[in-house]
Structure 1
Amino acid sequence: MHSSFADQLAGLDLASFSVGPAPVSTSDFPVRDAVVQTVEAVWSDLFAMVTGTALEADAEDLGWALVNIFHRAATRKGSALDQATDEVRALIATADGSEVHAYDLETQVERAQCAEQAMLAFEEMREVAASLYLNEFGSSWRPVSSSRFNHGAMLTSALVEGRDFLRARAEAKRKAALPEGSPVVFAGGRTRHASEADALTFAENVWATLDKVRDRVPDMVLIHGGDTKGADRLAASWAERRSIPQVTFSLDLRLGARAGFKRNERMLSVDPRYVVAFPGNGVLERLVIEAKARRITVVDRRGPLGTNPKNVAAHTG
C-alpha cells in the first residue's frame, strides 16, 4: 500500500540532510536468471517426486504453500519498510539539528532502503513461483485474505483485496500499490457441465468476452469475488495471463445470508465501467438489476455455456 521509499523521501522536508546512496543495491540480491532457474528446479523436483504417489492429490496445496513462502517473506519486509518509513517521518518532524538526530535519521533511512530491496527480491521470487503455479494448475495464485502487490513490476500482476482498495479510496488518495484504471466487475457462479467439451466451451467464452471488454477498456482493473472455483477462477486466470490487475471482494461470512448482497454493494461502489455477468444465483441476478438501475452497462452472458441470452432467444423465436 506504499509508494517506493525514494518517492516518499522526495515528498518530505529533509532540510539540510543529505540522503546518500542505498546501503544495498540490486546487485546485492540474486539476479532474475538465477531466481527463475532455481525456483523452476525446486518446483520441477517437488512435483516429480509426488507424481504417481498418494500425495499427488495434495499437489495443488503444496504448490500454493510454496508460493506462499515467498509471499510471506515479502510481506514481512514490507511491514519493516512501513515501520522504518514512519520512523523517518517522526524524526523529520522532531528535527533539532543535532548530530545524534542526524545519525538516527540516517540509520532509519538505511533500514528502510534495505527492507525495500529485500521486499522487491522476495516479490520477484513469488511472481516466478506464481507463474509456475498458473501453468501447473490453470488458476491464478492468490493469498488467503490479503493482497498480492508487485511493486517491482508496476503492479501489472497486483491482486488486491477489496477492503484494501476501498480503504485507500476512503482516505481520498490513491496509493501507488493500488491498481489505477477503469474498474470492470466480473460475476459468475459455479456451474456444472454435461461434458468436458461443454466446460471448455464455457471457459473459452469467459476468456473471449473478457478479451473483447479489454479491447474497449485498455486500462481495465478486473473486480471479482475471488472464488477459487467456477467462473471467478477462470476470470482470475485470464487476468493473470493478460497482466491485468485484480481487486477481489471476498464474502464476509459473518453477514450470513446478507453476505452476497453486501458484496454486490461494495463492488458497485467502485463505479465500474462495465458489469460482465455469467450464469449464477439470485445474488448475481440482483447485481445485474442494481447495475442497470445505476446505468452501468451490463455485458450479459447468462445464456447456455456463457453465451448472450438474447442470441438464444432469437434462435428459438
Structure 2
Amino acid sequence: MTQHQPIRRIDRFADLPTLYAEITATPEFQAAFGEPLGLSIVEFGDEPGEHEMPEPLAAQAECGGVIAAIFDLFTGTRLEPLAAEIAWGFVNSFHFTAGKLERREQALADEVGDMARRQDPSEIFNREMEDKQLLCQSTTEQREAMECMRDYAAEMYRALSGRPWSPARGTKASSASTASQIAALDFLRARQLATRERHAPQGPIVVVSGPASWHDWAKIWERLDEIKRRVPHMTLVTTGQRKGVDQIAAAWAARKGNGVPLVAYGLFGGGRKAPFTRNRKLAELRPVEAILCEGSGLQANLYQVLREAGTPIHAFRVSDQAPAQQTPTRMPV
C-alpha cells in the first residue's frame, strides 16, 4: 500500500483547519491529480476532450475531512460505537470503485492488444485504436485517483479509529506496422510493468499468521520491530484476516514511521484444499522469516510447510501471551 504523509491524532473536527494548514498535497496526490492527461475520455462513447482534475490539495483535504467529520459527529453520543463502521464504508467505496475501474481498464487493454496484433493500416482502424488506447489511459488515470483517495482515507481511518482499514474482499517496427500499432504495444508493455509492480510483493518477504482470537499485540509488534531492524526493506505478508494476529500485523505495518508494504494473501478458490494450497504458495514466496502464532491445524500445517522450506520461524504459543487484562486493547498509532 502506498505510504502517505503521517497524520497526527485528531481529537475534534475543529482541529481540521490547523491540520490542513500544516500540510501540502502529498507526492501521491500531486502525481494522481497534478498532471492530468492533455486529452481524456471521461465516459465510453465520449469524444476526447480537455477535462480538469480536482486540485491536489483540495482532493486530499476533502477526502480526509469526510472521514474526520464522521468521527466528530458521532463522538460523545450513543452513535459513537458506529463511527468506525460508517467510516469503513466510505473508505470501501473508494476501494470498490477502484476495483471496478481496474477491471474496465484490463478489458480495454485486452481490446487494444487484440487490435495491435491485427494488420489493418486503414485510417479509420487506427483512429479507433487510438481512441480505445486513450480511453484505457483515461480509465487508468481515474483508477489511480480513486486508489490515492482510498489510501489517504484509510490512513485517516487508522488515525481516528486506532486500527488499520482493510477491504472485505520502444518497439522496432516491421514493414506492416503502423505508428499507432507501435504506440499501442509500447503502452501495453508499460502498463503490464506498472501492474506487476503494484501487485507483486517487492523486497524480502516476512510472513505473519495466526488465529483470529489473539490479544497480545505488544509481543508481535516487538518481534516485528526486531525483524525490521535486520530487514529494513521487508514486505509483510499476512493471511488476510481482519481480526487477531493478522490485524495486529497490519496495524504495525500501517503505523507511522514503519513504511512497510502489506500484502493480504487470502484464500483463492473453494474446497477443503484451498487453505493448504494457500500455505504452499506462501512458502513459494521464499520468505526470509515468519512469525506464526499457535492456532488450528491449518496453522500447524503452515509451520510444517515453512519449516520444510527452510524459513526461520518465530513461533508463539497461546500461553506465551501476557494476560488479557494487562494488555491495552488499543494499539498506538
Would you call these one fold, judging by a TM-score over 0.5? yes
CA-atom RMSD, angstroms? 2.7
State the Cα distance separating 1:251 from its structure 2 match: 4.7
Deviations 1:209-238 (A, max 9, x none): 112212222332212121111111010111
**Match of 2:198, as an amino acid?**
A
1:99–1:260 CA distance, 2 compared to 1 (3 A): closer
Tell me: CA distance 1:36–1:144, structure 2 relative to 1, closer, same or farther (3 Å): same
What are the superposed Cα offsets for residues 179-217 of structure 1, whole Å, 9 maximum, x if unpaired? 32222211222446xxxxxx5xx3222122112212222
User: What is residue 8 of structure 1 aligned with on the other side?
Assistant: none
Match of 2:206 in 1: 184
**1:154-173 pair list within 5 angstroms:** none
Matched, 1:86 2:110: yes
> How many Å separate the matches in 2 of 1:274 and 1:52?
43
Distance in 1, Cα, partners of 2:283 & 2:50: 41
Does structure 1 residue 101 correspond to structure 2 residue 125? yes
| CA distance, structure 2, for counterparts of residue 141 and residue 54 of structure 1 | 23
Q: From the superposition, tell whether residues 285 and 86 of structure 1 become closer, same or farther in structure 2 (CA, over 3 Å).
A: closer
How far 1:100 sits from its partner (Å)?
0.4
1:304 equivalent to 2:320? Answer yes
Contact 1:292 / 1:298 at 8 angstroms: preserved in 2? Answer: yes
Q: 2:310 is matched with which residue?
A: 295
Deviations 1:256-291 (A, max 9, x none): 5x6654443332232222121234344323322332
Structure 2 portions without partners, runs of 5+: 1-36, 41-48, 170-194, 323-333
Residue-by-residue CA offset, 1:163-190 (whole Å, 9 max, x unaligned)? xxxxxxxxxxx82322322222112224
Kindly report which structure 2 residues correspond to 1:213-228, keeping only aligned pairs within 5 A, or say none: 213-228=227-242
Q: 1:297–1:73: structure 2 CA closer, same or farther, 3 Å change rule? A: same
Q: Kindly indicate whether the alpha-carbon contact (under 8 Å) linking 1:23 and 1:113 is maintained by their aligned counterparts in 2.
A: no
Count of residue correspondences: 249
> 2:45 maps to which residue?
none
Sequence identity of aligned pairs in percent?
27
1:270 counterpart residue number = 285
Match of 1:127 among 142, 151, 167: 151
Secondary structure of 2:205's aligned partner: strand
Cα distance in 1 between the residues matched to 2:125 and 2:83: 53
Other-structure match for 1:229: 243
| Counterpart amino acid of residue 29 in structure 1 | M
1:181/1:53 CA distance change after superposition, 3 Å:
same
The reply to whether residue 210 of structure 1 matches residue 224 of structure 2 is yes
How far the C-alpha of 1:254 sits from its partner, in A, is: 4.7
Instruction: State how far apart, in whole Å, the 1-side matches of 2:51 and 2:127 are.
Output: 26
Residue 129 of structure 1 deviates from its aligned partner by: 0.5
Structure 1 CA distance for aligned equivalents of residues 229 and 51 of structure 2: 39
* 1:140 has 2:164 as partner: yes
What letter is aligned with 1:207?
W
Contact 1:22 1:113 in 2 (8 A): no
2:39 and 2:50 in contact (8 A); partners too: no
What amino acid sits opposite 2:197 in the alignment? A
Long gaps (5+) in structure 1: 1-20, 146-173, 193-198, 307-317
SS of equivalent to 2:85: helix
- Closer, same or farther in 2 for the Cα pair 1:93/1:290, shift >3 Å? closer
Distance (whole Å) between structure 2 residues aligned to residue 26 and residue 116 of structure 1: 16
Q: Superposed, which structure 2 residues align to 1:56-67 within 5 Å? A: 56-67=80-91
